[in-house]
Amino acid sequence: MTKVGIILGSTRPGRAGESVAKWVYDIASRRTDAEFELVDLLDYNLPHLDEAMPPAMGQYANEHTKQWAAKIASFDAFVFVTPEYNHSTSGALKNAIDFLYSEWNNKAAGFVSYGSAGGTRAVEHLRLIMGELQVADVRAQVALSLYTDFENWTVFKPAPQHEGTLNTVLDQVVAWGRALEPVRKG
């Protein structure tokens, strides 16, 4: 069974991303074509890049890195739930991605973003990063507006059409995650 990690890419207190990620997980968990797991960066408490060796070497010294690497290695694909901060993704998500290299390779990724402009600029940056990590990112994405999908910018109330878009993202992520399996094993 294809395993998909839904990565909650914000660690900020009062983050909107927690309700968004739970919404993604709730919809994904109704599916039978893959296994889905919600991965919260807060649970890993990763400091700012404290490994002496470059991630491409795969020689991790710290226990937190080893735990993070094992978790990411266990997935075939990912859905990144990302805020948009200053026209990019969160520093916490970028840091977590940068801790590893081969654990990301030859997998698929989709994006659910949120922000004043739907988080689209954060996803643009993540797509560039995914290319460097040999991750196949899918075309479909969910872009949630703080103006229309959140009440008072805090209470998540997604417009109904977002569920259909999310299922398209999930369809593509699962298909690409499966399609890349021979490459991962080769």
Q: Which domains, ranges and CATH numbers included, belong to the chain?
A: 3-185 (3.40.50.360)
Residues 50-90 pLDDT 10s: 999 999 999 999 999 999 999 999 999 999 999 999 999 99
Amino acid at 109: A
Q: Is the pTM of this model over 0.95?
A: yes
Instruction: Provide the greatest CA pair distance for the chain.
Output: 49
For residues 5 and 178, give the distance between their C-alpha atoms in angstroms, rounded to a whole number: 14
Residues in the chain: 186
Residue 3 · residue 73 · CB < 8 Å: no
Q: Give 128-167 pLDDT, tens digit per residue.
A: 999 999 999 999 999 999 999 999 989 999 999 999 999 9
pLDDT tens digit sequence for 6-40:
999 999 999 999 999 999 999 999 999 999 999 99
Per residue in 84-135, pLDDT (tens digit) is: 999 999 999 999 999 999 999 999 999 999 999 999 999 999 999 999 999 9
Q: Which residue has the tokens 């996803």?
A: 123
Q: Comparing C-alpha atoms, which of 174, 169, 109, 108 is closest to residue 143?
A: 169
